[in-house]
Structure 1
């Protein structure tokens, strides 16, 4: 127990140093249109390469950051860097894509979060329609009314909103109807076994129908095979993410997947005004 505690304390100190010395980086994973096969957005994912210990999994340092309060600084940095990078790509002539940023429960529940987003958009020059905020199902079920007000403000700004890891939480359908969201993201724990587990297959089908009933876009996560993609296409899932198309890539590699163009116009949010 002492050894485990000391390791956590050491990792916390290293994480504080990583934040202050810009040792964090972002990788981007494409969101792909199921029918056309074209990229329809990117998700920004934080990465940490420790100078001595190498790559440290987000599953290890994100819970620590949430426990110690460092998540606020990480969330703000990720939001800023994703917006800055996206604006840079647009100015270089790449077709604009919506960048999705995961936000912790503690952030979306803060009264000033929407103003923070507004400030970062103003600093980076990124148009709101090219930003998407992802929140987990459980995070919006805490302080629900406050979250709804924040999300309504973000939506009025033109920012897209998604419920991430859908199906793993305990949201009420009555509340889901009130959330001003544009997308539901089906968690990979259901997607990966749709071909071998009839229960998971039926759950995914039901989620797709639910999204359609609420006029929401639906994204399946964790797609790793052509057969799973065919299942999603057959059941009219709109978008997917996963290693079948691409793993998360650093900025210098993701540009090879982006489309160059000199004239562009904003994309519409699918199934939503």
Structure 2
């Protein structure tokens, strides 16, 4: 697991990480997450894979705290397929209880990778996760099934909307993309949730998003996904500044 930092625009403060899985195969070399996550879904391992990542993050937070390294909240991607599973919340509770991880340091990013087949269970599970004290974010907003109707239904459970990187890439040159971003940020204000922009790679993108009123950002302009040791050093550095 690697950890990509998330920063607040207003004061450039580290406010969180997104947990990202990486695979370096001994024979095949680097394998893209788009490849191995899709394979996991195709062969029915998406549920166990998502829970494995969640478990690793919980244990890492606890380990850091035991070493007096107090991390900010860490976001974990959970696919719609996993969120549709009837025993998802029970499994989540078990991991939290066994690890002793504080739930306020966890965030579930609801991500779409396939069509939704059981919307009622998904919505019930998201609300139950929120009751555990875990933050909820809608990932890749503006694409796929991250629809307005879903956001409206879940509005009381949401904490963050994440603007998809495809809407950020040309934000400085495309008036249409700029207006899309402005509207998403405006929607965040209506819903009283924070808005985080993904894929920020240039100073111009950063400045424009701040001007539009975006709250948080992540991307190569700030930091790439960091190893555990590098993330730990960043946490300590920010604490000492």
Using the size of structure 1 for normalisation, the TM-score is 0.82
For 1:255 and 1:155, the matched residues in 2 are separated by 27
Unaligned 5+ segments in structure 2 are none
User: Which residue of the other structure, out of 25, 37, 42, is the alignment partner of 1:62?
Assistant: 37
* 1:230-268 superposed Cα distances (whole Å, 9 cap, x missing partner): 011111100001001100011011111103799xxxxxx
State how far apart, in whole Å, the 1-side matches of 2:88 and 2:107 are.
Answer: 14
Q: Could you give the per-residue CA deviations for residues 55-104 of structure 1, whole angstroms, max 9, x where no partner exists? A: 11111111111101122221121110011001111221123311111112
Q: Please tell me whether Structure 1 or Structure 2 has the larger radius of gyration of its CA atoms.
A: 1
Q: Is 1:80 the equivalent of 2:55?
A: yes
| Deviation at residue 141 of structure 1 after TM alignment | 5.1
CA pair 172-54 structure 1, distance change in 2 beyond 3 A: closer
Aligned match of 2:153? 178
Match of 1:205 among 179, 182, 190: 182
Give 2:139's aligned residue. 164
1: CA distance, partners of 2:115 / 2:107? 16
Provide the residue aligned with 2:228 in structure 1: 251
Aligned length: 237
Q: RMSD of the TM alignment (CA)?
A: 1.8
CA distance in 2, matches of 1:137, 1:78: 17
2:151 pairs with 1:151: no
Shift of 1:111: 1.3
Question: Could you tell me the TM-score, scaled by structure 2's length?
Answer: 0.93
> What's the CA shift for 1:173?
2.7
Q: Helix, strand or coil for the counterpart of 1:163?
A: strand
2:218 pairs with 226, 233, 241, which one? 241
Deviates more, 1:138-147 or 1:109-118: 138-147
Distance 1:108 1:39 in 2: 28
Question: Equivalent residue for 2:109?
Answer: 134
CA contact (8 A) 2:3 2:225 kept: yes
- Residue 220 of structure 1 aligns with which residue? 197
CA deviation string 1:125-155 (max 9, x = no partner):
1011111111125769542221111111111
Distance of 1:75 and 1:171 partners within structure 2? 19
Q: d(CA) in 1 for partners of 2:92 and 2:237?
A: 27
2:208 matched to which residue of 1? 231
Matched with 1:101 is 76
